[in-house]
Structure 1
Amino acid sequence: MPLRGKKRGRGALPATKEPDSKVAKAETPKKRYASSSAKGMTKVLASEKDKPEGSKKTYSHWLMKSEPESRFEKGVDVKFGIEDLKAQPNQTACWDGVRNYQARNFLKDMKVGQEAFFYHSNCKEPGIAGIVKIVQEAYPDHTQFDKKDPHYDASSTKEKPKWFMVDVQFVRMTKRFIPLAELKVQHQAHKTSGGPLKAMSLFTRQRLSVQPLTDEEFEFVLSLEEQKP
């Protein structure tokens, strides 16, 4: 039986703008660090309706946003930071509450063993806090059927569920917290130089709480943890 974790970051984040932390100088790492994720093929986005136009890419790395600070919806605290995941039995929990079709499709593309950055969002200092891995592939999100849950969807049925979730397990903290402000600097520099982060979804599809990463993007971001901010 999959673990029922606390509420996670949703498909479309609140309209509040994520605050910038202090700006870091853009640097190119002296060497690339290989991904530690399990290899595996992923399928093309499940729904043609929600698939980005012209997109036929498959992915094996991800970025998943969640809120580490308390915020109440219908009386329920949707807070779930990486420390909350670490506190779960077996450091494993379901990633529920996604209510954006494209983010849902990305969840359905995930394969067991793939890795994702755990990204703290909608907080004082947003950024990447650690790494998790997928331990169970997509299955119906129980919160869509719970009338008391803030993510209840009356239009979804158990026969034809709309929303799905995966189970994730804590892998490790990043060697240092990698703030959004630092990633922004790198993104701007790479847009000019053609670097790995030039088209990173964190900036091109900002409101998605579940985002794909290319291998090159994942490896570059991972290499940043070795650098001084």
Structure 2
Amino acid sequence: MSIWSRITAAVSALTHGESLSAVFEHLRSPPERSVAFTIAVIALGAKMAKADGQVTRDEVKAFREVFQIAKEDEAGAARVFNLARQDVAGYEEYARKIKAMFGDGSDTLCDLMEGLFHIAVADGEYHPKEDAFLARVAEILDLPEAKFRRLRARFVPDARPDPYDVLGVDHATPLPEIRAAWREQVRDTHPDRLLARGLPEEALKLAEKRMIAINDAWEEIQRERARADAHRDL
């Protein structure tokens, strides 16, 4: 059974008049976390699109990039998106229920924020309302400020990401410590680890993009330090 079939089953199990946010009460067991994660990104993405004031084709395309939605599953994904957009429950309620489901300090919450950033910048613009939305969601999820800045550094358009922010280190950090931070992020981005903490296989596209950003940042820092060493030797 595909994840979209499982999502359809989870949504269909809601009683008449029950909010879509109630679905997270029924998806607490580890086998269903991939379903919960997917619904969480789609639902909060829909709420974010509503906060932005419009749903662009690029944002819809971004959902397909994150989750690799097959054509036969598009109707199911669209149903979840529309249910969330029409739901009277606010995005803060969604965020609180998602946090309660995954627990404090869960790396899956950072993965969730990554998916939302990907959708927010899909149209090539990062709207102030989107930034306020994501900052508030991150606050509810208790995402550390450093992690939020790291994500924003990678995704915000029209601004070259600071490689140190991408790796979550200070500019004065010694190179061996930066290498350790880079290796830790590479380990955390391995598909096996992402799957183990609840990401569906359909969302592993995020891991590919993250790995590229992490490696680019590490290579840029190495080049910068090498130039600095060469300059001192002159």
TM-score, normalised via structure 1 length? 0.23
Q: Which is higher, the Rg of structure 1 or of structure 2? A: 2
Between 1 and 2, higher relative CO (CA 8 Å, sep ≥ 6) is seen in 1
Give 1 or 2: higher strand fraction: 1
Give 1 or 2: higher helix fraction: 2
TM-score, normalised via structure 2 length? 0.23
